[in-house]
């Protein structure tokens, strides 16, 4: 608990209630032990797990009924938290990612060791992974506590409506998820845009 409080206290922009502290403590413990959680993002609810654990990723994909070859987004509190997943970026590329105002997911060159469960098996010459720096205070705090990114994909069964609250998530997933972080989100927000950092191509607006 002391480690958790120290990690949270380093995030001066976020004032957490005791309930939020307990929520983050439980969520981080579940993620470390290979669990799958639902959590609020800037746009919709997401499903998250530890991207370093293939068994956790496989569990998430099975719960969501998502094909293994599509890949997943990973989100973090800072660009530095992606260092174990992506190839080194030029200073101007780093600046572009860090100064983007809109919620944006970037396709960037991945390290060769990164699982295809994260990158997908797309027919491209360069292996790429989708990353996003989150501005959501709960996500930023959680990633600071974990010291690494978490996966992000919309918290709904494939082909089913997007979920905007805990009740909608429970209706689709019943009790199959390990935890749900309850918080308000902007139901009018659109999913993040997706841009290929190298080519500049807009994959999704």
Please state, in angstroms and rounded to a whole number, the distance separating the CA atoms of residues 83 and 143: 14
Predicted pLDDT of residue 1? 40
Domain of 156, in residue numbers: 2-204
Residue ranges in the chain whose pLDDT is less than 70: 1-15, 123
| DSSP assigned state of 110 | B
pLDDT digits (tens, 9 = 90+) for 69-126: 999 999 999 999 999 999 999 999 999 999 998 889 999 999 999 999 999 987 677 8
Please state, in angstroms and rounded to a whole number, the distance separating the CA atoms of residues 33 and 111: 24
| Joined tokens for residue 10 | 């380093």
Please state, in angstroms and rounded to a whole number, the distance separating the CA atoms of residues 80 and 147: 10
Please state, in angstroms and rounded to a whole number, the distance separating the CA atoms of residues 90 and 181: 36
How many domains does the structure of the chain reveal? 1
| pTM of the entire predicted model | 0.89
Please state, in angstroms and rounded to a whole number, the distance separating the CA atoms of residues 13 and 33: 28
- Tell me the CATH number at 159: 3.90.870.10
Provide the CB-side half-sphere exposure for 56 (13 A, CA). Answer: 20
| Joined tokens for residue 64 | 């969501």
């Amino acid at each position: 608990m002391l480690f958790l409080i120290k990690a949270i206290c380093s995030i001066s922009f976020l004032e957490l209630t005791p309930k939020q502290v307990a929520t983050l403590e439980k969520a981080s413990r579940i993620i470390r032990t290979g669990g799958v959680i639902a959590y609020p993002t800037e746009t919709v609810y997401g499903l998250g797990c530890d991207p370093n654990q293939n068994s956790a990723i496989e569990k998430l994909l099975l719960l969501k009924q998502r094909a293994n070859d599509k890949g997943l987004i990973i989100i973090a509190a800072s660009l530095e938290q992606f260092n174990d997943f992506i190839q080194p970026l030029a200073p101007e590329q780093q600046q572009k990612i860090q100064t983007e105002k809109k919620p944006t997911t970037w396709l960037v060159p991945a390290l060769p060791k990164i699982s295809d469960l994260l990158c997908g098996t797309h027919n491209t010459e360069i292996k790429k992974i989708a990353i996003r720096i989150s501005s959501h205070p709960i996500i930023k705090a959680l990633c600071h506590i974990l010291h690494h990114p978490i996966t992000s994909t919309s918290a709904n069964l494939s082909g089913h409506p997007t979920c905007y609250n805990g009740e909608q998530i429970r209706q689709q997933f019943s009790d199959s998820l390990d935890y749900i972080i309850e918080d308000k989100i902007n139901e009018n927000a659109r999913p993040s845009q997706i841009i290929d950092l190298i080519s500049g191509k807009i994959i999704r607006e």
